[in-house]
Amino acid sequence: MGIPAGKPLAIIGDTTHNFTWDLPFGYTSEYFRRGLPTQRVYHTRLHNLSEGSTMPSELEKIEGVGPTVAQKLEECGFRTIEGIAAASVKELTSLAGIGASTAQKIIESAQRLASIGLETADKLWKKRQTIERITTNSRELDALLGGGVETGSMTEFAGAFRSGKTQLCHQLAVNVQLPPDQGGCDATAAYIDTEGTFRPERIINMAQAKNIPPNQALKNIIVGRAYNSDHQMLLVQQIQDNPQFEKVRLLVVDSLIGHFRAEYLGRGMLAERQQKLNKHLHDLLRVAEISNIAVITTNQVHAQPDVFFGAPDRPTGGHIVAHAAQTRIYLRKSKAERRIATLIDSPYLPEGEALFTIIPQGISDA
Ligand SMILES: Nc1ncnc2c1ncn2[C@@H]1O[C@H](COP(=O)(O)OP(=O)(O)OP(=O)(O)O)[C@@H](O)[C@H]1O
Ligand SMILES: [Mg+2]
């Protein structure tokens, strides 16, 4: 059975636990029973699970996955068959505590079931055409990013304190509101503030400099102040449930792992922390890909005393964080208001550096 194209398959925002399906009449139960082989219903299913539903997991369709294993996998951030199909044996064993041979079998049967698989490159190219870009306000930094921050994937800004991470997040939350010919998406932003550093004053300054009525600029940013890591993860869901979500093209998480680091101290807690972080990152990646949103995360850096050449510090969070963001930018302070951005990871852009400044009006050319 084909999946109707166009609008999302499911609509959330339901408080009565009744689903509203955007499907032709009669298809509902069939899709439901078959475990909904599409990521487009992900939000609804998650929403429902968090309400304590007993609906079977989509993952149970995979040979060798019963309710217990499905639950374990979901807790580690694997919520779709496609997600399992793309996972490595090591990921499943270390994150979900599943034995290697079982993990191998699960992955193989997920791969057989997965509806994504081979696609010709022209289709992927077409998909890439739907990607929009948001200007950072710095020509050099935009060029380094291939024309600005892109929607549909995750970009990480890593750097020490005062390197400009939060300023960049504010600027992007304003610039996403600009029309496309001025480097925006004619859209709105969502901002998860984990450190209490979101400042409406800065938005007002930046909006004025871009000729956006300040009040309008503020109204176009949904802000969630996250007080701990659980709350931070919940906010990702709440943002998707917000009636304004449809217009959101930028989701900021500033900073990504501050709470996780503070709450999970010591080596003994590391595995648990990474597991939770992995789930959070999967949620964010999915929002980026499914809703064509630019997800921006910020990350602190820690010193690498053994490195004598190149960048002396390394973004925190280990491999899980390092591999999640498609694009990683390392920021460092230069003289006065000047900042240096280095592209450290991109699937298609060359490495390079850009200079920009932070001035009262926001991010600017150096
Ligand atoms: N109104 C302003 N006018 C000019 N520059 C400003 C203004 N507000 C902030 N800045 C600059 O931005 C810097 C702070 O940058 P930002 O808050 O983005 O750092 P960060 O990388 O997020 O640091 P942290 O890791 O502490 O969160 C300040 O040191 C200052 O140089
Ligand atoms: Mg900051």
pLDDT digits (tens, 9 = 90+) for 73-115: 888 778 778 778 878 888 888 888 889 999 999 999 988 887 6
Decide if 251 contacts 294 (C-beta within 8 A).
Answer: yes
Does the beta carbon of 161 sit less than 6 angstroms from any atom of ligand 1? yes
Same fold, 10-113 and 125-365: no
Two structure tokens written together for 325: 């963001």
Ordered by start, the domain boundaries in the chain are 10-113, 125-365
Give the range among 12-21, 233-242, 270-279, 331-340 with minimum mean pLDDT.
12-21
Domain 125-365 grouped into CATH 1.10.4190.10: no
How many angstroms does the Cα of residue 108 sit away from the middle of ligand 2?
42
Measured from the CA of 300, which atom of ligand 1 is nearest? 25
Enumerate the H helices of the chain as residue ranges: 28-33, 42-50, 67-75, 81-85, 89-96, 100-113, 121-129, 139-144, 165-175, 200-209, 214-219, 229-241, 258-263, 270-291, 318-324
Measured from the CA of 170, which atom of ligand 1 is nearest? 18
Does the beta carbon of 165 sit less than 6 angstroms from any atom of ligand 1? yes
Q: Which CATH superfamily is domain 10-113 in?
A: 5' to 3' exonuclease, C-terminal subdomain (1.10.150.20)
* Average pLDDT of the residues in 298-315: 68
pLDDT tens digits, 271-304: 888 888 988 998 899 899 888 999 999 998 876 6
Q: How many CB atoms lie within 10 A of CB 197?
A: 15
